[in-house]
Structure 1
Amino acid sequence: MKHSRLSSLFNFSSRFGFRTSPGVSLYSTTTMYRPHREPSRGTLNDLYRRISRAGDHTAPISPILDQWIEEGRTAPKGALVTIIKELRQYKQYKHALEISMWLSDKRYFELTIADVAIRLDLIAKVHGIEQAEDYFNNIPKNLKVLEVYCALLNSYARAKLVQKAEDIMQKMRELGFARTSLSYNNLLNLYYQTGNTDKFNVLMSEMKEKGIVHDKFTYCIQISAYAAASDLEGIDKVMAEWESDPKVLMDWDSYSNVAISYKKAGNVEKALAMLERSEKLMSSSKRKRGAYEYLMTQYAALGQKDRVMRLWELYKKHMKIYNRGYISIMTSVLKIGDIESAEKIYDEWESSNLSFDICIPNFLIGAYTRKGLVDKALVDKAESIVNRVIQKGEKPDARSWHYLARGYLDHDQIEKTVELTRKALSVEGSRWTPDGHVVAACMEYMKQKADVEGAEEFIRLLGEKCSFPISIQEKLLDFINNEDSVTVEIGDLEWDRQNGVLKEADLGSN
């Protein structure tokens, strides 16, 4: 019995990263926490570089961290937290969560309130709401405070779970946690996102009655709500209030967010004016690199190629360029439809000796195949990019092969489409959403060839690699097994096999 209880306790700690008492680890008899010197910036960069070179953002990185320690290097908590923050910024949530777990499971660091809140947020993003709730329910009482409740509320809001968000907000009111704009902003944003205008207005009134002061996020949410209603006067009104509020100063990203709202509301002139104000504030920002990257994409959304290229030149002049910079500029020029500039930037990236990131060639491969419908030569160019990747000793990912498959389908090379789609499905650790036209064409081809075994394996991989529900897999199997009348929803398309129709699907029907 004693062994069983200890085993259960061990599993609980491993799963949630909590301790039974300060300074004592369930994993060893040694002291859990030893102070380390903070690493030099160079050391921190070295570790982050190793992680970023992993390339596949779904592959485990614990072996990289373990090897770092085996080499006799230090991994202070401050360094790991900084890397987690960086990964979250670039939406690499799986790796961020893995490091969060590693710092408590392998390095035995105590979790602070901030660590717990961040981990809860990451669990929700990587594993879903149910596991986040499970984690929240097992958090020790002394750590279950405002920041942690807000993390759960934010997770509910992100998942658009209105009732659960309202319930946790009511619990926060009862505990006295709903005294700042932090909690209100999450619920306000949820009401805005779900079109609950009446509840939005009631909550704004509650904030006014309780003297809950606005912060930059409150103002941004209000402006976004007015933009959704194409209410330019409403945006102007909130902007005037915000700019006259001495407690909430506007920074570069405040103006850039307002620019998005003006664009949504249909006023491009005011949107550009806001981006110009944002640009003037970049130099005083601690996140200058991010400001350049973001504003390039925003100017691109407004079709301002000259401004995009001007910022890119300034960026190269004042910043050390990493992959993220190339991702931002490639995204921007392709958004404008400037493939020629994208090609030049890609060549520049190839010669930069930065760590390989398949996302960058994929931008060009995808652009070529999207335009390849009217020009077969562009599909050939896309394949040449894939070959260049392979020649450098790197590996295309599932999206690389899938983009090519779609390109060849547009030119009725069905056999090549099936071959490339199978390559996409064979890539390990890569999850993606296939194009409905490609899947339908592959199924038709395999049925014509009476390749039942190949089709069954193809369908199995769609379930494993692309999260196709069992119901869809069964319908595809019915089709292969001589059911002539089959209607299947594939992604956002509906395939009516009997009538040869592939159309927009009503996704609410399943």
Structure 2
Amino acid sequence: MMLIRSRYKLVKNFGISVSGSLAICMHSTTSVLESLENRVLKVWDPMIPVVPVLDQWVEEGREVTEFQFRDLVRRLSQFRRFKQALQVMEWMCNERNHDLSPGGIAIQIGLISKVHGLEQADRYFRSIPDAKIGFKTYAALLRCYVEHKSLEKAEAVMKKIKEFHDLDITECYNLMLKLYGQMGKYEKLDRLVREMKEKDISNARTYMFQLNAYVAAADIEGMEKLLMQMEADPVATVYWHTYSSAANAYRKVHNIEKAMAMLKKSEHLAKGKTMRDAYESILTMYAHIGNKDEVYRLWNVLKSLKNSRNSSYLFMLSSLVKLGDIEGAEKILEEWESQYRNFDSRIPTIMISAYCKLGQVDKAEACLKRHLDGGKPLDERSWDRLACGYRADNDMEKAVQAIKKAVSANLAGTKPDLFTLVPCVKYLKEKGDLDLALEILKSCIEQDHISVTSYDGLVSYVHNETPHTEPLDLFSLDEEN
């Protein structure tokens, strides 16, 4: 993996600059941290590198501690700006006098997994010196395997984690419960629960992972028994999302009346700082059960809360699109456009995607153009959705240009739609524009959008070395999903 180079050095004694400037010494920890944090957080577009901001900071004679950069990484991760968070970590790693602690290495493992995928995270883990491999690094690797639903690897690393008898590994057990539940491995989940009871290993999250497993399996009887146990157990804290999860189970079996009752209980438990997160989630649940009146009711509650944020608009727009209320969604988008403080490309992308799915490509183009003309570049998700719309409209020339922009960058957690990418490559091959086909594939492999195996196969396909092969057959099942 290429690491970002910087010629500047970090110092661990905060407040002492290279020049010994008294002005730097007089900065408080909070004021300097906020100043750097504000500079970096202002780079709202996750596709824009933050390294120049860091370089400029030290050019001004400012130097900060590892703790402050770790806090910056944490803040970026909170906003799901994982690529920028990884840039900060890599910038730190390349300072000659800085060495990551095991905790820092654990953070880096997680970020690499989110930005570049599991294969790169595995490769990075193998490069770690044995002396720095311990519980934190194994736990970080386990979390990566769970996020990517890599069952065998997760079970293997869990065996190593169980060797740390003197440490609290409850959360690692909880991660395995989560994985077993997500993958429908209920027998293994039950065995693990019994093992945890024998070892007296559990916490409030253990109950939640068990509950989520019942919800995933739509096991209403099991869920109701566990819910009664949680309500009676003083150790088990029942949160707003406990009842929200139960509502989701009832929704799956089309018991709307009980789902509504659970959502009302969930609302009543939403208090203080959790209120906005709770209402955003519950609003989405009301959309899932098709209750538009409740969606708008909660939206009005959300708007009455102080410090409105982009996430509320994201949840509301997604909910209205799900309900098919495109006219209402357009009004919400217009409201956001008139008052947002920080641009969030995900919000117009929701409408662009909705328009394309409805075959209204002209509206999708207009939405995209409006933001581009306003100096707000959209990320590859918007271009990918537009490419899908063009492909469905059989306008392959425009689809190719859109997919070219979609694959030119790597936004954490996103990949181009294969059922659009492949027809574009096929179209270019049949047209005879091999250079552009190869250029698009090169971007795909450089940005980890496709595997090396798929890339090699598609390059062979473009060169007509596998004339009887359908290009989509060259992808693994994981990529197709």
TM-score (norm 1): 0.77
Aligned residue number for residue 242 of structure 2: 254
Q: CA shift at 1:442, angstroms?
A: 3.2
Q: 1:51 to 1:490 in 2, by over 3 A?
A: farther
Deviates more, 1:168-177 or 1:107-116: 107-116
Aligned residue number for residue 387 of structure 1: 369
CA deviation vs aligned residue, 1:454-488 (integer Å, no higher than 9, x gap): 44434444444543645455446535649653312
CA distance in structure 2 between the partners assigned to 1:71 and 1:288 by the alignment: 41
Aligned residue number for residue 212 of structure 2: 224
Aligned residue number for residue 303 of structure 2: 316
2:352 to 365, 373, 384: 365
Aligned residue number for residue 203 of structure 1: 192
Percent of matched pairs sharing the same residue = 35
Q: 1:445 to 1:77 in 2, by over 3 A?
A: closer
1:397 to 379, 388, 396: 379
Larger Rg: 1
Q: 1:95 to 1:31 in 2, by over 3 A?
A: closer
Q: 1:463 to 1:345 in 2, by over 3 A?
A: same
State the AA in 2 paired with 1:478: Y
Aligned residue number for residue 237 of structure 1: 225
Aligned residue number for residue 63 of structure 1: 52
Q: Secondary structure at the match of 2:472?
A: strand
Alignment partner of 1:489 is 2:472: yes
Aligned residue number for residue 296 of structure 1: 283
Aligned 8 A contact 2:69 2:88 in 1: yes
Q: Secondary structure at the match of 1:412?
A: coil
CA distance in structure 2 between the partners assigned to 1:176 and 1:31 by the alignment: 36
Alignment partner of 1:165 is 2:154: yes
CA distance in structure 1 between the partners assigned to 2:291 and 2:435 by the alignment: 52
Aligned residue number for residue 270 of structure 1: 258
Aligned 8 A contact 1:433 1:491 in 2: no
Q: 1:179 to 1:474 in 2, by over 3 A?
A: closer
Q: Secondary structure at the match of 1:433?
A: coil
Aligned residue pairs: how many? 462
CA distance in structure 1 between the partners assigned to 2:393 and 2:184 by the alignment: 43
Aligned residue number for residue 22 of structure 2: none
Q: 1:292 to 1:319 in 2, by over 3 A?
A: farther
Aligned 8 A contact 1:227 1:235 in 2: yes
CA distance in structure 2 between the partners assigned to 1:264 and 1:72 by the alignment: 58
State the AA in 2 paired with 1:64: V
State the AA in 1 paired with 2:175: N
Deviates more, 1:296-305 or 1:472-481: 472-481
TM-score (norm 2): 0.81
Aligned 8 A contact 2:243 2:265 in 1: yes
Q: CA shift at 1:379, angstroms?
A: 1.5
State the AA in 1 paired with 2:266: S
Q: Can you give the 5+ residue segments of structure 2 that lack an aligned partner in the other structure? A: 16-26
CA distance in structure 1 between the partners assigned to 2:86 and 2:401 by the alignment: 35
CA distance in structure 1 between the partners assigned to 2:97 and 2:257 by the alignment: 54
CA distance in structure 2 between the partners assigned to 1:470 and 1:296 by the alignment: 42
Q: Secondary structure at the match of 2:471?
A: strand
2:122 to 118, 127, 130: 130
Aligned residue number for residue 21 of structure 2: none
CA deviation vs aligned residue, 1:272-303 (integer Å, no higher than 9, x gap): 3222222112223x333322332222222222
* Larger RCO, structure (CA 8 Å, separation 6 or more): 2
Q: CA shift at 1:490, angstroms?
A: 6.8
Aligned 8 A contact 1:117 1:148 in 2: yes
Cα RMSD (Å) = 3.8
1:413-428 equivalences in 2 (<5 Å): 413-425=395-407, 427-428=408-409
Q: Can you give the 5+ residue segments of structure 1 that lack an aligned partner in the other structure? A: 1-13, 16-26, 373-377, 493-504
CA deviation vs aligned residue, 1:316-361 (integer Å, no higher than 9, x gap): 2112123223222222222222211211111112111422222221
Aligned 8 A contact 2:240 2:265 in 1: yes
